[in-house]
Amino acid sequence: MEHDLLRTSLIGTQKPIVKITVLAQPDDISLVPALLSLFETHLKSSQRFIFDLKQINMLTPSLVVALLEITAKCRRKGGQACIVNLSFDLQKQFESFNTLTFLFSCSDEEEAIEELTWDELETIVGKTPPAANLTPGKKQSIKIPSRVDALYRVCDFSTGIARDMGFSDNEISRLKIAVYEACLNVIEHAYHSDPDKIVEVQVDRFNDKIVITVIDHGEGFEEQDRNQFDIEEAASLRRTGGMGLHIINRSMDLVQYKRDAIRGNYLTMTKYLGGMENQG
């Protein structure tokens, strides 16, 4: 099986070994969810895996932890997972992996409570409500500090609702990319990485769509026609400006932006269940 993130093949016929080749680089936020999903699918029929890392040139804490999780699950079922084609640099990155780059750690309980309650929702403070309890048309929101290490919170919050609504894994991956890029743009460009600022994400759940609004009170931007962005030219010139919005436009069905110096800047992103082609 082939797609742009992973390639799967079977080795042998009796008790086949599943070989998964990683094609994308680990900084693609869709890679780890796709890898775990693919692994779980094949774990039903095989407990022996080979993971080929020949085509990647870096590691991230989330990928390392995903591979550890996969190995542990294989062993609990009497199987094994093996990594092949590790370059010298990747070998050193594995050896120097520090668990505290992934685990969330605070000096004491008081600090932990303060950090964890950044996730203040309209309904439950510090705790994401179960997605199944969200009723159609009811708005839920989450607030995070303007820090890159807090982005996973809004991504998990948004994708949890989308998954409960019945969006496919592919649609959820695209939605996650859009939410990540939108919030990252706020942190880097609207707030200039000021950790004292707040990013708010509102999620509206409807029967046929999910509407996600990212709100900030920083510097706005001039919206351009989505067709004006030339990705080949940007890549050739190594220009990153506008890339995030291009990714968002490609990932979502509808994208709208409104600047307001008083009420804040609103980036509203809509994704329909089954895609735009199934609407109307």
CATH of residue 153:
3.30.565.10
- Number of separate helices (H) and strands (E) present in the chain: 8, 9
Residue 32 lies in a domain: yes
Do 131 and 94 lie in one domain? The reply is: no
Per DSSP, 5 falls in state S
Residues in the chain: 280
Residue 172 above 70 pLDDT?
yes
Residue 1 domain flag: no
Q: What is the pLDDT of residue 226?
A: 46
For residues 173-187, average pLDDT: 90
* 137 plus 222 within the same structural domain: yes
Same domain, 118 and 37: no
The verdict on 122 and 259 lying in the same domain is: yes
Indicate the number of domains in the chain: 2
Phi, psi (rounded to 5 degrees) for 83: -100, 135
| Residue in this structure with the two tokens 């009497």, named with its chain if needed | 78
Q: For residue 60, give the nearest of 17, 86, 97 by alpha carbon.
A: 97
- What is the spatial distance between Cα 253 and Cα 245, in angstroms, rounded to a whole number? 13
- SS3 at position 199: strand
The percent of residues in the chain predicted with pLDDT above 90, rounded, is 33
Domain match, 192 and 80 both: no
* Claim to verify: residue 143 and residue 218 sit in the same structural domain: yes
**Which tokens hold the place of 139?**
């708005």
150 pLDDT higher than 80: yes
| Contact indicator for 8, 35 with CB cutoff of 8 Å | no
* The overall pTM is greater than 0.85: no
The verdict on residue 51 lying in a domain is yes
Q: What is the pLDDT of residue 276?
A: 59
Domain range for 14 is 6-100
Helix axes 169-185, 243-251, angle to 10 degrees: 150
Q: Are residue 138 and residue 88 in the same domain, yes or no? A: no
pLDDT at position 74 over 80: yes
Give, rounded to a whole angstrom, the gap between the first and last alpha carbons of the chain: 33
CB contact at 8 A, 165 and 273? yes
Phi first, then psi, for residue 90 (nearest 5°) are -65, -40
The arithmetic mean of pLDDT across residues 98-122, rounded, is: 63
Least confidently predicted of 34-48, 65-79, 137-151, 185-199: 137-151
Place of tokens 């039903």: 44
Which residue would you say has higher pLDDT here, 241 or 189?
Answer: 189
pLDDT of residue 53 exceeding 90, the answer is yes
Q: How much is the mean pLDDT over the chain?
A: 79
Write the pLDDT tens digit of every residue in 207-261.
899 999 999 998 876 555 445 544 444 334 343 444 678 888 888 999 998 887 7
Please give the sequence-ordered ranges of beta strands (E in DSSP) within 30-172, or none if there are none.
48-52, 80-84, 139-145
Whether residue 155 sits in one domain with residue 38: no
**Least confidently predicted of 54-58, 101-105, 147-151:** 101-105
Q: Which range, of 82-96, 106-120, 263-277, averages the lowest pLDDT? A: 106-120
Whether 18 and 49 have beta carbons less than 8 Å apart is answered as yes
Q: What pLDDT, on a 0 to 100 scale, did the predictor assign at position 223?
A: 56
Alpha carbons 148 and 159: distance in angstroms, whole number? 18
pLDDT grade, residue 127 (50/70/90)?
very low
Q: Is there a single domain that holds both residue 245 and residue 128?
A: yes
Q: Return the pLDDT at 42.
A: 92
CA 64 to chain centroid, in Å, comes to 16
Whether residue 124 sits in one domain with residue 211: yes
CB atoms under 10 Å from CB of 265, counted, come to 19
Whether 88 is in a domain gets the answer: yes
Residue of 137, 116, 115 lying closest to 128 (CA atoms): 116
Q: Are residues 189 and 213 in the same domain?
A: yes
> What is the pLDDT, as a whole number, of residue 89?
85
Cα–Cα distance for residue pair 39/67, rounded to 1 Å: 10
